[in-house]
A = this chain, B = another copy of it.
Amino acid sequence: MSKSAGIIVIGNEILSGKTKDENSPYLTRELRDLGVDVRKISVIPDELNLISDEVKQFSSSYDYVFTTGGVGPTHDDLTMDGIAAAFGRRTQRHPELESTLRQYYSRDLLDGNLRMADVPDGARFVGGKGMWFPVIAVENVYIFPGVPEILRRKFERIKEMFREAPFHLREIYLRADEGQIAAILHHVLADFPDLMLGSYPYFDNPVYSIKLTLESKDASYLDRAHQRLISELGKARLSPIKNP
Give residues in A with beta carbon < 8 Å to B.
Answer: 12-21, 24-25, 28-29, 31-33, 38-46, 72-76, 105, 108-116, 147, 149-150, 167, 177-183, 185-186, 189, 196-204, 213, 215
Instruction: Tell me the bound Cα distance from A113 to B177 in angstroms.
Output: 8
Instruction: Tell me the bound Cα distance from A202 to B199 in angstroms.
Output: 40
Q: Which residue of B lies closest to A47 (CB)?
A: B39
Instruction: Tell me the bound Cα distance from A109 to B133 in angstroms.
Output: 61
Q: Which residue of B lies closest to A72 (CB)?
A: B178
Q: Which residue of B lies closest to A19 (CB)?
A: B200
A198 / chain B contacts, CB cutoff of 8 Å: 12-13, 18, 46, 76
Are B199 and A76 in contact, with the CB atoms below 8 A?
yes
Beyond contacts A73-B179, A74-B178, A112-B179: 17 other A-B pairs, Cβ-Cβ < 8 A, are A13-B200, A15-B28, A15-B38, A16-B32, A16-B215, A17-B28, A17-B29, A21-B25, A39-B45, A40-B43, A41-B41, A41-B42, A46-B198, A73-B178, A75-B199, A76-B197, A147-B202
Are A147 and B201 in contact, with the CB atoms below 8 A?
yes
Give how many copies assemble into the complex: 2
Are A213 and B43 in contact, with the CB atoms below 8 A?
no
The smallest C-beta distance from A208 to any residue of chain B, in angstroms, reads 14
Q: Which residue of B lies closest to A45 (CB)?
A: B39
A19 / chain B contacts, CB cutoff of 8 Å: 200
A181 / chain B contacts, CB cutoff of 8 Å: 74, 112
A28 / chain B contacts, CB cutoff of 8 Å: 14-17
Instruction: Tell me the bound Cα distance from A125 to B72 in angstroms.
Output: 46
A108 / chain B contacts, CB cutoff of 8 Å: 177
A40 / chain B contacts, CB cutoff of 8 Å: 15, 42-45
A14 / chain B contacts, CB cutoff of 8 Å: 28, 41
Q: Which 7 A-B pairs have the closest CB atoms?
A: A113-B179, A112-B179, A112-B182, A17-B29, A41-B43, A17-B32, A74-B199
